[in-house]
Amino acid sequence: MVIPHNAYELAIRAYALKLILGQLMLVLFIVSATYLGEDPKSTRSAALGGMIFLVPQYIFTRLSFLYTGSANIMRANTFMILGHACKFALIFILFSVILPLPDIEYFNLFITFVIVMFSQIFSLLKPLPEQVAARLPAAIDVAEDIAKGNVKTEKKQKELATQG
């Protein structure tokens, strides 16, 4: 398991997991609404339709955000592609396993799958967390000196140049 190295990685992962939890709540709502219809086949079909999307989506999220940052750009791209491939393959496999099962109502299965899939549009309403660049304390001092109009600013700038 890879441990996040900075707050931005944690924020991105939390953002993705919140989206998945929201989709899970949507599936639970749809399943409970179909449960009120007193037909266990429609309830089971709705639950399976939601899970056909949620399980691959969770695996995609775990793989895609395993690496972040410019230092790991090749790994991040590789795992993003791997995540998409796994998601697509797993959705295909789950459909091919579940569709032949007896007592499946295809309408409830597909409508739940499509509703949950299109619920990802709501992730566009909230922007991703912004990455804040780490600043050196000495650079902050220079910025404050420039704002105050201090004469020592040139000396500090030379010190920073020798440090960096």
Q: Is the residue at 129 inside a domain? A: no
**Mean pLDDT, residues 23-42 taken together:** 89
Task: Assess whether 86 and 155 both reside in one domain.
Answer: no
Q: For residue 131, how far is the Cα from the chain centroid?
A: 15
Domain count, the chain: 2
Contact yes or no for 116/27 (Cβ under 8 A): yes
Judgement on whether residues 44 and 99 belong to the same structural domain of the protein: yes
Q: Report residue 15 as tokens.
A: 């953002």
User: Can you tell me which residue has the tokens 């050196």?
Assistant: 136
User: Model confidence over 56-69: pLDDT tens digits?
Assistant: 999 998 888 777 76
pTM, entire model: 0.69
- Cα separation of 147 and 139, whole Å? 12
Domain extent for 37: 7-124
88-125 per-position pLDDT tens digit: 999 999 999 999 999 899 999 999 999 999 988 877 77
Clarify whether residues 109 and 145 are in a common domain: no
Same domain, 100 and 146: no
139 and 120 belong to one structural domain: no
* Tens-digit pLDDT profile for residues 130-150: 655 544 455 555 555 555 655
CA angle, corner 31, sides to 90 and 100, nearest 5? 45
Task: Return d(Cα 31, Cα 47) in angstroms, integer.
Answer: 6
